[in-house]
Structure 1
Amino acid sequence: MSNTQFPKIIAQTERLIIRPFTQEDVPSLFLLNSIPEILTYIPAEAFTDIAQAQAIFDEVVQVEYRERGFGRWAVHHKLDDKVIGFCGPKYLPEFDKVELGYRYLPEYWGKGIGYEAARATLDTFKPLHGIEEAIALILHGNLGSEAVAKKVGMSLFAEDEYFGHKVHVYQIPL
């Protein structure tokens, strides 16, 4: 990943630094993909080995950064000095749109972190990447994610299917 593609810090809030993932964040990627509670509304199997997180970092995160100039960003909690989740854009060819996706460690749920990171990240979509519209795909029943989407100004646009799962599609013009 070249530092000339995007800033070292994508966005910053009072509590959070939103930045590109680095090699040092692979253990955090493992946690975000291995805790069953986090994966309740994620259509994926839990990771069982750190090598799976390394593969995601190498084959997905880095590729998206290199090919698109954006991707899921690490959400670093300033006070706790650790990566607690991710939030950021991802191009979804199935919809030909850019999705705002987010995921956090359970101990940070219900504290406004999701909204704080989503708002700060959405504010960068147009100026940094020229993205004019964002969507969020949210599995039925994921009320926490729906609340974040609504709070940042997204509206329910459609119901669809994604990898065999029923999803609500929220969208927002930027």
Structure 2
Amino acid sequence: MQFITSNCVIEPLQPEHYKAIHMLYSNEQVRTYLGGVPQDSYIEASFKGMLAAPFPNTYLYISLKTTGEFIGLVSIDEYHDKELYELSYQFLPQYWGKGLAFEVLTAVMEEGLNYLDISSIVAETQTANKASCHLLEKLGMHKVQVLERFGHEQALYEIKKNHKESR
């Protein structure tokens, strides 16, 4: 599953992407609502887990089409309950507020629902992360639950495959 949007290249995560992912996971701003910067051993183990994850779990390396610069990581993988699939994303701060996350996530959600043949995608974010909540709503996702996880209030959003057809 590799594709190109107006500004970005979206490709499967590869072993040579480790340095970029380590940089992303080590960024304090990125990790503000994700439990803080983890230890190197956790980052390495997480990366290995991403590479070894069975289909349809999908981890995507996002780079700029013009320069090849790494800008973020997007995934669709099993949600906590193992019955749903979750859209997750982390983008480097210098690319926030430029519409790139919306562009990439729109494409990933569409491809994910079709290519992975799943009926819906959820996304969970801290309610305190107003930018992420706004992004998920802009993507057409609807808040379906508020819960406590990891010691913080979380909002669970969902979009169904037939979302666009029913509007």
Normalised to the residue count of structure 2, the TM-score between the two structures is: 0.88
Separation in 2 of the partners of 1:74 and 1:165? 28
Judge conservation of contact 2:127–2:133 (CA < 8 Å) in 1: no
Which residue is 2:47 aligned to?
Answer: 57
Which residue is 1:26 aligned to?
Answer: 18
SS in 2 for 1:39: coil
> Which of 92, 110, 113 does residue 126 from structure 1 map onto?
113
Q: Could you tell me how far 1:53 is from its partner in structure 2?
A: 3.3
Separation in 1 of the partners of 2:82 and 2:57? 17
Q: Aligned-residue CA RMSD in angstroms?
A: 1.7
Separation in 1 of the partners of 2:52 and 2:126? 26
List aligned pairs for 1:7-156, cutoff 5 A. Answer: 7=1, 9=2, 11-43=3-35, 45-49=36-40, 52-58=42-48, 60-64=49-53, 67-94=54-81, 96-156=83-143
Q: 5+ unaligned residues in a row in structure 2: which ranges?
A: 162-167
SS in 1 for 2:75: strand
Which residue is 1:3 aligned to?
Answer: none
Normalised to the residue count of structure 1, the TM-score between the two structures is: 0.85
Q: Could you tell me how far 1:48 is from its partner in structure 2?
A: 4.9
AA aligned to 1:61 is: M
Q: 1:118-169: CA deviations, max 9, x gaps?
A: 1000011122111110111011211111121111100111101223322001
User: Would the alpha carbon gap of residues 46 and 122 (structure 1) be closer, same or farther in structure 2, given more than 3 Å must change?
Assistant: same
Does residue 1:162 correspond to 2:162, yes or no? no
Which stretch of structure 1 is more off in the superposition, 102-111 or 74-83? 74-83
Separation in 2 of the partners of 1:81 and 1:122? 22
Q: Could you tell me how far 1:95 is from its partner in structure 2?
A: 6.2
SS in 2 for 1:32: helix
Separation in 2 of the partners of 1:160 and 1:47? 23
Tell me the number of residue pairs that the alignment of Structure 1 and Structure 2 aligns: 161
% same residue = 24
Separation in 1 of the partners of 2:145 and 2:82? 12
Moved over 4 A (4+): none
Separation in 1 of the partners of 2:67 and 2:127? 32
Q: Could you tell me how far 1:52 is from its partner in structure 2?
A: 4.3
